[in-house]
């Protein structure tokens, strides 16, 4: 995988940040994960993964403007970097290549 070693949650967070585009911050990522997968992830875990992915160079961040809604606090907004986009593309290619190698019987769930 050309050095793109991602855990399951890291991969999921990268995909969600890409989906949210310019609106990705901790809470929105957690909400979108819940909406898309039904999986509830602790906000602390989301922040840890966002920071780790930024350290790895897969994400970029900047501080958004302060809002009354947030009591004057600013949001830290995340976006995919070129390396992040390359990582999720590579993961997709590898997964698809592996799925394509499954024998047809392995995909037949009709017999329990």
| pTM (two decimals) | 0.82
Confidence of residue 68 (pLDDT cuts 50, 70, 90): confident
Written as six digits, the tokens of 107 are 């995909």
How far is CA 48 from each of CA 34, 72, 101, 105, rounded to the nearest angstrom? Answer: 17, 23, 35, 40
Which architecture does CATH list for 8-96?
Answer: Orthogonal Bundle (1.10)
Whether 58 shows a pLDDT value over 90: the answer reads yes
User: In the chain, what are the domain boundaries?
Assistant: 8-96
pLDDT surpasses 90 at 71: no
* Confidence check: pLDDT of 72 > 80: no
Count the neighbouring beta carbons within 10 Å of the beta carbon of residue 7: 10
Alpha-carbon distance of 76 to 24, in angstroms, equals 8
pLDDT band, very low/low/confident/very high, at 1 (cuts 50, 70, 90)? very low
pLDDT, averaged across the chain:
89
């Amino acid at each position: 995988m050309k050095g793109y070693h991602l855990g399951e949650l890291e991969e999921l967070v990268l995909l969600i940040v890409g989906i949210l585009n310019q609106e990705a911050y901790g809470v929105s990522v957690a909400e979108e994960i819940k909406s898309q997968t039904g999986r509830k992830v602790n906000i602390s875990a989301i922040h840890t993964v966002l920071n780790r992915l930024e350290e790895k160079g897969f994400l970029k961040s900047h501080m958004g403007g302060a809002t009354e809604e947030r009591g004057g606090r600013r949001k830290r907004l995340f976006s995919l970097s070129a390396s992040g986009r390359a990582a999720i593309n590579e993961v997709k290619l590898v997964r698809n290549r592996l799925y394509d190698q499954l024998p047809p019987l392995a995909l037949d769930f009709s017999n329990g």
